Chain A
Amino acid sequence: MIVIEKRKKYNTKQNLIIIIISIFLSLFISSLIFSLRGINPFFALYKIIFSSFGSLYGIKETITKAIPLMLCGIGLSIAFKGKFWNIGAEGQLLIGAVLATWVGLFIGKNLPSIILIPLMFLAGFVGGGLVALIPALLKVRFNTNEVISTLMLNYIIEQYVQYLVYGPWKGKTQYGFPYTDNLPPNALLPIIKGSRIHYPTLIIAIILSILIFFLLFRTKLGYEIRVIGENPLSAKYAGIDYVKVILIMMFLSGGIAALAGVGEIAGIHKHLTYPSQISSGYGFTAIIVAWLAQLNPLLVIVTSLFFGGILVGGDVIQTSFGFPFATINIFNGLMLVFISIGYFLIEYKVSFKGAEK
C-alpha cells in the first residue's frame, strides 16, 4: 500500500535535491525522444546547452529571450502567490505589444525618445493590467474559473492582433506583408552593440523583480495577497477586502507581463506582426519559469535565463537535427510535470508499506 503523508519538516537542502532531480529526470525523458530519432541524446543535450551558454553569441541570444520570460514570470508570480491561476500572460504580452505600437506609431511619433519610450511602457502596462482585470472581475463577481477565462482571452487577443495587422494597421511600406509600418527611430529601444539585447527592458525587469519581491514579502498588499492565496477563509476572518486585493493583484500581474510585449516590439521586431512572431509562447513558458523559481521574483531572474537558454537550444536542434521547434515544448512540458511532482514530494512524504490488516 502506498502511504502519503504531509511532511513534518522541510529542509532547504532536500528541496534543492528534489528540484535538481526533477530537472534531471525531465532531461532524461526528453533524451529518449532524441534516441528514438537515432540521435545520441548526450550529443543533443550538449548541443542545446553549448549553443545557449557555450558561446558569446549564445549567451547574448539567451539573455535576449530571457527578457520577456523574466517580465512574464514576475507578473505570474504575483498572481500565483494569490492562487489566481493566470494562464493569460501570452495575451497580456500581446496587448502590451499592441499598445506600444499604437503609441509609438500613431499617437506620439513626433515625441522625443525620452518621453515616448516611457509612454509606450506606461501604455502597455495599463493595457495589460486592464485586460487582466477582465478575468479578475469575472472571478470575483461570478466566481468564473480563471484558468478558462484567462486562457481563452489569449486567443481572443491573438485574433485581434491578426485583425490589426491584416486590416486597419497594415503598413503601406511593407510590400503587402501583414506588418504595421516600422516604428520611427525615436520609438526604438537602444540595444547592446553586436547583440539583440534591448537593455532598458532588461533593467526594468531586474528592478521589477526586486520591487515585486519587496511588495510580496514586505508590504501590506503582499501580505494580503499571500493570506488570500494560502487561506481565503482566514482572509475573510482577518477582514481583508478580497475583491480589492484580487483586482489590484491582477492589474499588476497583467501589466508587468505586458511590458514584455512593449520590449519585443520596441527592441526586436520594430513593428507589430503575427502573434506567433512576436511571442514564441513566452507567456506560457513563463508559467514554468515562475514555478521553477518557487514564485520568488528574485529567482525568476535565474530561471528565466535558464529557459531562455532552452529556447535558444530549441532553435539549434531545429537547424542541426531537423527537429521541429515543438520538440522544445515537449521538453518544457516534461519539465513542468516533473517540477510539479517535485513540489508534491516537498510537501508530502510517500512511502510504501505492506497492506495493513
Chain B
Amino acid sequence: MKNQYIDTLEMRGIYKEFPGVVANNYIDLQIKKGEIVSLLGENGAGKTTLMNILYGLYRMDKGEIYINNEKVNIRSPRDAINKGIGMVHQHFMLIDNHSVLENISLYLKETPILFPEKKVEEKLLDFFEKYGFYVNHKAKIYELSLGEQQRVEIIKILLGGASLIILDEPTSVLTPKEVEDLFNLLRNLVKEGKSVIFITHKLKEVFEISTRVVVLRQGKKVFEDDIKNTNENELARHMVEREIKASIQKKEIKNGEIILSVKDLFVKNDKGRTVVKGVNFEVKEYEIFGIAGVSGNGQKELIEALTGLRKWEKGEVQFFGKKYDRFNSKLFRKLNISHIPEERTKFGVVANLPIYDNSVLRTYDNCNFCRGLILRYNNIKDFSKKIIKEYNVMAPSINTRIKFLSGGNIQKFILGREISTKKDFIIAAHPTYGLDISATRDIRDLLIKMRDEGSGILLVSEDLDEILEISDRFAIMYDGEFIEITRPGELSIEEIGLMLGGLKSKNREERLS
C-alpha cells in the first residue's frame, strides 16, 4: 500500500485532559502542502501533546482530524505513518546497538524479510544523492552524535514516505552548522510539496524557517498568523502573556552575606556537550534568586553541578566563602544546604521505604540520628513525626511507605525534611511542578518564610509566575547562558518573553548602551 499524500491536514477542536490538567483545550490547526508551521509555546503549553495525538501516541478526548478533507481516525503511530505522517521525537526512537541501515530497515514496510539491508541500502544511497543530506549508514547508532542520530530519524521517516513531518524541538541537540543543514533540507522538502510542523520555543528559528506560526499557551491556541505579518515582540507577548499577580507581600530585602558565588561556570551534559556556558551569579542571605527559562537550557546540569551530582568543567564555585575545585554529593551533604531536587520521586525519596526512613535520607549520619554505626531510630521517628506535624503532611502514620502519599504531600515532606535541618541555603528545583494550587501555595509561602528568616534560596522554575511572584532577583537562562539578571517588575512581560525565546529586545539593548 502506498502512503497517502497529504495535501491538507486539519485538526478540529482537539481536546485532551490529563488528570488535573487540560493539556489541549479545543485547538484547531491546519496545514497544507508547502508550508512550514512553527508551533510556539512555553513548557506545558500543550505543543507536544497535540502532536502526539496527531501521531497516534495519545488518544484525544474530543476532536476530529481531516486529511485531504476526509475524516480520519488515527489509533496508533502505525496508522499515522500509513497516512503519511512522520514524527521526530525529542528523544530518539533508535536502537543503539544496531546500524543506521538496520534501524531504517526496521521502520520501512517494504523491507524484505531476507537480506533486508541490500534493498534499503540502494534507496538510501539514492536519497543521499538527491538531498545532499548524508549520514554514515554503516555506523552503529551509539557511535553517532545526537545531531547525526536526528538525521537518521529524519531520513527514516522520509524514506517511509511521510509527506507531513513533525519535528519536536529539533535544534536543541544541534550545532549551528547542523541547524543550517537541517533548515536547508526542510526548505528542499517543502519545495517538493511536503509540509512540516516545527515545535520550538526559539523565536529566532521561527522567523528563519517557518511560513506560518501558531502560538499555544496553557493548552489553548492564542495566536496564529503568517510569518510576514508578525514580529518577534508580538509572538513573545502571546507566548508568555499573563496578568502579573501582585507580588506577595514580602519583607524588605535585608542585606546579607554572600552564600553562593558562581564564577564563569561550564558544565557538560551526559552526551558530552557543554550546556552551561559560563554563568556568573551570587546569592545572598535574605534573598530568593530565581532562574527562569524553558527547560533544557542547562538549568538541570547547573543544579546538578552545584549539588555535587555532576562534575563541572571549568569555573569557580564558593559556598559560604569557601572555594571548591571539585565537588561531590558527599561533600555537599556536609554543607548546611537544603536540596529540593527536580523529579521528587526519582531522587528525593525512596518510594518503598517508610516515611521515617525517608526523613533522614540526607542527614542519617548526623550525630542526632546515629551513634557510631548504629542509627537512633527513636530520634529518627520523633523527627519524622515533627516534620509531618509542622509541615502539614497528610500521612496515615510514619510507618507508611512514602509511595502512598500524594505528590503534594511528598513535596511538603521533602521540603520539611530539608529545611528543618539545613537552613542556611536552599536549592529548590521546580518545587511546585505538578502540584495542586493549595500545595503550591504552601510551598511558596514556606520558601518566603525561610527567606525572611535569613536563608538564601536558589530557585529554578519553568513557571514564570512562580519566579515573578516570589523571587527577589532572577536570571533568564537560554542556551546555557544567563541572558539577563533582573528584578521582578523591571522588565515588561514582552521583554521576558523575547529572552525566554533567546532574543534581547532592541529597545533594551539601546537603553543599556
Contact = CB atoms under 8 A, between A and B. Distances in A.
Given A220-B365, A227-B353, A238-B361, 16 more contacts: A8-B404, A226-B350, A227-B350, A230-B352, A231-B346, A234-B346, A234-B347, A234-B361, A237-B329, A237-B339, A237-B341, A237-B361, A237-B362, A238-B333, A238-B362, A239-B362
B377 interface: yes
B375 A227 contact: no
Interface in B341-379: 341, 346-353, 357, 360-362, 364-365, 370, 373-375, 377
Nearest to B309: A236
B362 A230 contact: no
A220 B308 contact: no
A137 interface: no
B97 interface: no
Interface string A338-349: 000000000000
B365 A227 contact: no
Interface string A190-230: 00000000000000000000000000001111010011001
Interface in A1-41: 6, 8-9
6 contacts: A218-B374, A220-B374, A223-B364, A233-B346, A234-B349, A236-B347
Contacts of A234: 346-350, 361
A49 B330 CA distance: 53
A218 B377 contact: yes
Nearest to B331: A239
A218 B361 contact: no
Given A220-B364, A237-B341, A239-B308, A230 B329 contact: no
B328 interface: yes
Contacts of B347: 233-234, 236-237
A34 B307 CA distance: 62
Interface string B388-412: 0000000000000001100000000
B329 A223 contact: no
A238 to B, nearest CB: 5
Interface of A: 6, 8-9, 218-221, 223, 226-227, 230-231, 233-234, 236-241
Contacts of A236: 309, 329, 347
B19 to A, nearest CB: 14
Nearest to A6: B403
B374 A239 contact: no
Contacts of B339: 237
A220 B362 CA distance: 12
B332 interface: yes
Interface in B295-326: 307-309
The 3 closest A-B pairs by CB, nearest first: A239-B333, A239-B329, A239-B330
A223 B332 CA distance: 19
Interface residues of B, number: 32
B375 A220 contact: yes
B355 to A, nearest CB: 14
Contact of B357 (A220, A223, A241): A223
Contacts of B350: 226-227, 230-231, 234
Contact of A226 (B357, B360, B377): B357
Contacts of A9: 404
Contacts of B307: 237
Contacts of A223: 357, 360, 364, 375
Contacts of A221: 373
A237 B352 contact: no
A212 to B, nearest CB: 14
A241 B364 CA distance: 13
Contacts of B330: 239-241
A346 B139 CA distance: 45
Contact of B309 (A220, A237, A241): A237
Contacts of B331: 239
Contacts of B370: 220
B132 to A, nearest CB: 40
Given A233-B346, A234-B350, A237-B362, A219 B333 contact: no
A182 to B, nearest CB: 41
Contacts of A230: 350-353
A220 B377 CA distance: 11
A219 B328 CA distance: 24
Nearest to A10: B401
B147 to A, nearest CB: 27
A7 to B, nearest CB: 9
A197 to B, nearest CB: 33
B115 to A, nearest CB: 33
Nearest to B372: A220
A229 B313 CA distance: 31
B404 A227 contact: no
A26 B109 CA distance: 45
**From A219, A227, A231, A241, residue with most partner B Cβ within 10 Å:** A231
Contacts of B351: 230-231
A131 B375 CA distance: 30
A219 B333 CA distance: 19
A233 B403 CA distance: 16
B191 to A, nearest CB: 43
A124 B171 CA distance: 60
A234 B344 CA distance: 9
A226 B328 contact: no
Given A236-B329, A239-B328, A227 B377 contact: no
A218 B378 CA distance: 11
Nearest to A214: B374
Contact of B348 (A6, A237, A241): A237
A231 B347 CA distance: 8
A233 B341 CA distance: 11
A241 B375 CA distance: 17
